[in-house]
Amino acid sequence: MKPLFLLRPEPGWSVSAQMARDMGLDVHGRPLFDIEPVEWEVPPAKAYDGLLVGSANVFRHGGKRLEKLTKLPVHAVGEATADAARAAGFLIGRTGRGGLQNLLDDLAGRELHLLRLAGEDRVTLRVPDGIAIDTRTLYRAEPGSLAEEDIALLRDGGVVALHSGAAAERFKVECDRHELDRTRIDIAAIGPRVAELAGESWGSVHTAEAPGDSELLALAQSLCQTGGDG
């Protein structure tokens, strides 16, 4: 069985790692990013019809300023983000499945002014007619490095699970920096955009059936057991 490498930030790394171990996978890796808050200005809540949120990190790192926006419904990219919003005292307007663009498309046909709360690295969205979006940046990802023991293991190959475009781009940088042979590495990407950002020359690149951690780990399990051609 090939080793699995996880690169997402905490607290997600530990959650994914435990789930993968419960699936019988040989888990390695470390977060390639540390998430830290940034200063941001809160606009008047009355100017908006709702919040558009693509990550639970918004509620982990947004601070007390978020309390001024709790009267606005949250349109959350997925269940984990919706759960974090509820824990922070927000009501949920809509919970998406399939990425933030799909969620926004589901809101099409309505006249809405949304406030998007996001990190510095974020997906570019196609905004439907009738919807206006303002954006505030609440956090950033500080890049890190691969651990020496992971570099040594990756020289013999493995499966790398990529939860974000930022992770895909950073992993490419680390592979080039340490002159790792991409053809020995299979990529499991959480969505098409992440797979695209991962680039080429890998042993194989595969996309999860849905953009969730469980679906991504199920894909990674298959690759670990059968290899990229399985």
* Tokens describing residue 202: 């890998």
**Could you give the CA distance from residue 138 to residue 118 in angstroms, rounded to a whole number?**
6
Tokens 């349109």 identify what position? 75
Q: What span, in angstroms and rounded, lies between the C-alpha atoms of 185 and 74?
A: 38
In the chain, which residues have pLDDT < 70? 227-230
Map residue 230 onto helix, strand or coil. coil
CA distance 106 to 93: 12
CA distances from 159 to 24, 57, 148, 181 (A): 14, 26, 17, 13
Q: How far apart are the C-alpha atoms of 22 and 26, rounded to whole Å? A: 10
Q: Give the model's pLDDT for residue 230.
A: 43
51: its two tokens = 């919040």
pLDDT at 27: 98
Q: How many whole angstroms from its chain centre is CA 206? A: 16
From 121, 134, 140, select the one nearest 43 (Cα to Cα). Answer: 134
CB distance 76 to 57 below 8 Å: no
Other C-beta atoms within 10 Å of 111: how many?
9
Tell me the per-residue pLDDT of 92-149, one tens digit each, with 9 for 90 and over.
Answer: 999 998 788 999 999 999 999 999 999 998 888 999 999 999 999 999 989 999 999 9
State the architecture of 4-32+145-226 in CATH terms: 3-Layer(aba) Sandwich (3.40)
Res 98: pLDDT: 74
Q: List all residues 6 or more positions away from 106 whose beta carbon is below 8 Å from its beta carbon.
A: 94, 96
Give φ, ψ of 64 to 5 degrees: -70, -20
* CA distance linking residue 51 with residue 32, whole number of Å: 28
> Where exactly are the structural domains of the chain?
4-32+145-226, 35-141
CB-based contacts of 196: which residues, under 8 Å, 6+ apart?
Answer: none
Q: What is the pLDDT of residue 228?
A: 61
CB 42 within 8 A of CB 19: no
Q: Confirm if 88 and 76 have CB atoms less than 8 A apart.
A: no
Joined together, the tokens standing for residue 184 give 């020995």
Residue 166, strand partner residues: none
CATH architecture for the domain at 35-141? 3-Layer(aba) Sandwich (3.40)
